[in-house]
Structure 1
Amino acid sequence: MDAIDEFDINIIKELEKDGRVPYSTIASTLKISNTMVHQRINRLIEQGILTGIKPIINEKKVGYDWGAFTGLTLNKDQDSNRVIEELKKIPEVTECYFITGSYTLYIKMIAKDHEHMRKLLYEKIDNIPGIAKTDSMIELGCAFKRNISL
Structure 2
Amino acid sequence: MAKLDKKDLIILSHLQKNSKVSYSEIARLLNVSEGTVRTRINRMLKEGVFEFVIHTNPNKIGLDVQAIIGISTKLGKHEEIATELKTYSEVRFVGAFSGTHDIIIQAYFKNNEELMNFVNKKLANIDGIESEEVNVELKQYKDSFSYVP
Shift in Å at residue 42 of structure 1? 1.9
TM-score normalised by length of structure 2 = 0.91
Shift in Å at residue 35 of structure 1? 1.4
The gaps in structure 1 that reach 5 residues or longer are none
Paired position in structure 2 for 1:58 = 57
What amino acid sits opposite 2:66 in the alignment? G
Aligned residues: percent identity? 28
Matches for 1:1-150 after TM superposition, within 5 Å: 1-50=1-50, 52-76=51-75, 78-146=76-144, 147-150=146-149
**Contact 1:19 / 1:54 at 8 angstroms: preserved in 2?**
no
**Contact 1:126 / 1:134 at 8 angstroms: preserved in 2?**
no
More moved, 114-123 vs 30-39: 30-39
TM-score normalised by length of structure 1 = 0.90
**Contact 1:73 / 1:105 at 8 angstroms: preserved in 2?**
yes
What amino acid sits opposite 2:17 in the alignment? K
The gaps in structure 2 that reach 5 residues or longer are none
Q: Secondary structure at the match of 1:101?
A: coil
